[in-house]
Amino acid sequence: MQRRDFLKGSLVTGLATGTLTSTAGAEGETPKGAAMAGAAVVSGPAPESLSILQPIRRPATGFLEIAVGDEAFRRINAEDDGLLAFTEHVLKFRVPPQPAGAEVKYRVTVVPIDFQNAYKIRRGEAETSAVRTFRTLDPAARETRFVVWNDTHENQETIAAVHAQTVPLKPDFLLWNGDQTNDVYTPAKMVNQYLAPGGLAISAEWPLAYVRGNHDVRGPAARHLPEFTGTPDDRFYYWFRSGPVAAVVLDTGEDKIDEHPVFGGLAAFAAMRERQTRWLAEVIKDPVFRQAPYRILFCHIPLFWTHESPAEGPWNSSALCRDAWVPLLKQAGIQLIVSGHTHRHAWLPASADRPIGQLVGGGPKVGAATLMEGHASEERCRLTMRDLKGAVLETVELRPSV
């Protein structure tokens, strides 16, 4: 990949929809007031596919500065074909590949812009964030720790609670396993939905692995989702390695068939499912993947559920994804599937009818929400699911496969 591609950012939302407006008051007055709308989000999560997303609250441009270890800060622009970013909701910076296991310091500068016409562009006062630090994932590390959220559905009380539990754990990465939202109707609301819910710094100091849920594809603004997420190559299926864990992320799409009348003919998840199947067939050949002692699939909709019946509804698991992927998952040696979606936590161990164990998180109400903590070492990989009071609900242990 060329260096230009790594530095390429996103010209998002306002330019595409024509909603950017002047923030000046009287003529000649430059934009005033805080431009940043919360802490940045580090996403990716692999060292070669990181993005840093800075939420903003008015039309602005800006730049990122990063420093590895004791190096001096270097500037990274969000540039696209000679134009620097000019957007009103989020500045997205592609980070060049970084060393594995490296400490990276970063800060973001945001400059409000009053774009009155092509010959009258006024810059406001620059605003620079505090310096924050995160560590890139290391495939060669002897151990790794991670946290899984799911089905928060914009419930601020639940998000604040799982965030409070996550901070002291200092995970290597946070995986948000789908249904961050109820629906997605306007880019103006997506900062709070995906980047800074309730003003929290959800993933400013560790990489976020984003997983798309079925509610995250509902609504006209769902097409703007890549602007507010930082998945590798802006795909919603990818894999990465953190220490002894190979993590595969797959997108289970909607919980109904594409032809269901509720979608109004706008759903085409069958084609996406086929692309993922072909991609997965190649991933499982990768030596770095195959050498991982633990291999876990993360996807929003479970591939298995306790049972499927008309009373229970067909939407608690995805038979279409199960039929497409399970043969390859067995071939890949996937030891565990971690999902959400049902709003009821469950542990479904492997059985004759279920070749891979399925761990399902709860949520979104405070009484039903869960947090999963994972710790993998050379001896074992343990996932512990707790409720928001800290009580252990399920514990699953994996042994090394290689």
Q: Are residues 149 and 66 in the same domain?
A: no
Q: Are residues 101 and 234 in the same domain?
A: no
What is d(CA 385, CA 274) in angstroms, rounded to the nearest whole number?
A: 32
SS3 content of the chain, % helix, strand, coil (to 5): 20, 30, 50
pLDDT of 22 > 50? The answer is no
> What's the confidence (pLDDT) of residue 306?
80
Q: Are residues 159 and 126 in the same domain?
A: no
> What's the confidence (pLDDT) of residue 308?
62
> What's the confidence (pLDDT) of residue 213?
97
> What's the confidence (pLDDT) of residue 85?
96
At which of 75, 102, 134 does a domain end?
Answer: 134
> What's the confidence (pLDDT) of residue 259?
93
Q: Are residues 150 and 241 in the same domain?
A: yes
Supply the CATH number for residue 107's domain. 2.60.40
> What's the confidence (pLDDT) of residue 285?
96
How many domains is the chain built from?
2
Average pLDDT, integer, range 149-153: 98
What is d(CA 299, CA 138) in angstroms, rounded to the nearest whole number?
A: 22
Q: Are residues 294 and 195 in the same domain?
A: yes
At which of 134, 153, 180 does a domain end?
Answer: 134
At which of 134, 165, 195 does a domain end?
Answer: 134
What pTM does this model have?
Answer: 0.90
Q: Are residues 148 and 130 in the same domain?
A: no
Residue for token pair 């500068």: 109
> What's the confidence (pLDDT) of residue 14?
36
Q: Give kind and range of the element (H or E) at residue 199.
A: none
pLDDT of 72 > 90? The answer is yes
Q: Are residues 74 and 214 in the same domain?
A: no
Query: For the range 246-249, what are the long-range contacts, defined as Cβ-Cβ under 8 Å and sequence gap of 24 or more?
Result: 246/288, 246/289, 246/292, 246/294, 246/295, 246/296, 247/175, 247/209, 247/296, 247/298, 248/280, 248/283, 248/295, 248/296, 248/297, 248/298, 248/332, 248/334, 249/175, 249/209, 249/211, 249/297, 249/298, 249/299
Percent of the chain with pLDDT over 70: 90
Is the separation of the CB atoms in 165 and 390 below 8 Å?
Answer: yes
Supply the CATH number for residue 360's domain. 3.60.21.10
In a domain, 101, yes or no: yes
pLDDT tens readout for residues 323-368: 999 999 999 999 999 999 999 999 999 999 899 999 999 999 999 9
What is d(CA 226, CA 220) in angstroms, rounded to the nearest whole number?
A: 14
Q: Are residues 60 and 187 in the same domain?
A: no
pLDDT of 29 > 80? The answer is no
> What's the confidence (pLDDT) of residue 402?
82
Residue type, 265: G
User: What is the phi/psi pair of residue 188, to 5°?
Assistant: -60, -25
Shortest CA distance to 300 belongs to which of 189, 167, 181?
Answer: 181
pLDDT of 292 > 80? The answer is yes
pLDDT tens readout for residues 295-320: 999 999 999 988 665 444 456 778 89
Is the separation of the CB atoms in 195 and 89 below 8 Å?
Answer: no
> What's the confidence (pLDDT) of residue 233?
94
Q: How big is the chain by its Cα radius of gyration, in Å? A: 21
> What's the confidence (pLDDT) of residue 32?
56
In a domain, 295, yes or no: yes
Q: Are residues 259 and 304 in the same domain?
A: yes
In a domain, 139, yes or no: no
pLDDT tens readout for residues 237-253: 999 999 999 999 999 99
pLDDT of 384 > 50? The answer is yes
Q: Are residues 89 and 207 in the same domain?
A: no
Is the separation of the CB atoms in 108 and 39 below 8 Å?
Answer: no
> What's the confidence (pLDDT) of residue 307?
66
- CB count, 10 Å around CB of 262? 9
In a domain, 297, yes or no: yes
Is the separation of the CB atoms in 196 and 171 below 8 Å?
Answer: no
Beta strands in 158-285 (DSSP E): 173-177, 208-211, 238-242, 245-249
Shortest CA distance to 193 belongs to which of 177, 176, 181, 175?
Answer: 181
Report whether the peptide linkage leading into residue 364 is cis, meaning its omega lies within 30 degrees of zero. yes
Between residues 81 and 27, the one the model is more confident about: 81
Q: Are residues 231 and 290 in the same domain?
A: yes
In a domain, 183, yes or no: yes
Report residue 19's pLDDT band, with 50, 70 and 90 as the boundaries: very low
In a domain, 75, yes or no: yes
User: What is the extent of the structural domain holding 243?
Assistant: 144-398
Q: Are residues 105 and 150 in the same domain?
A: no
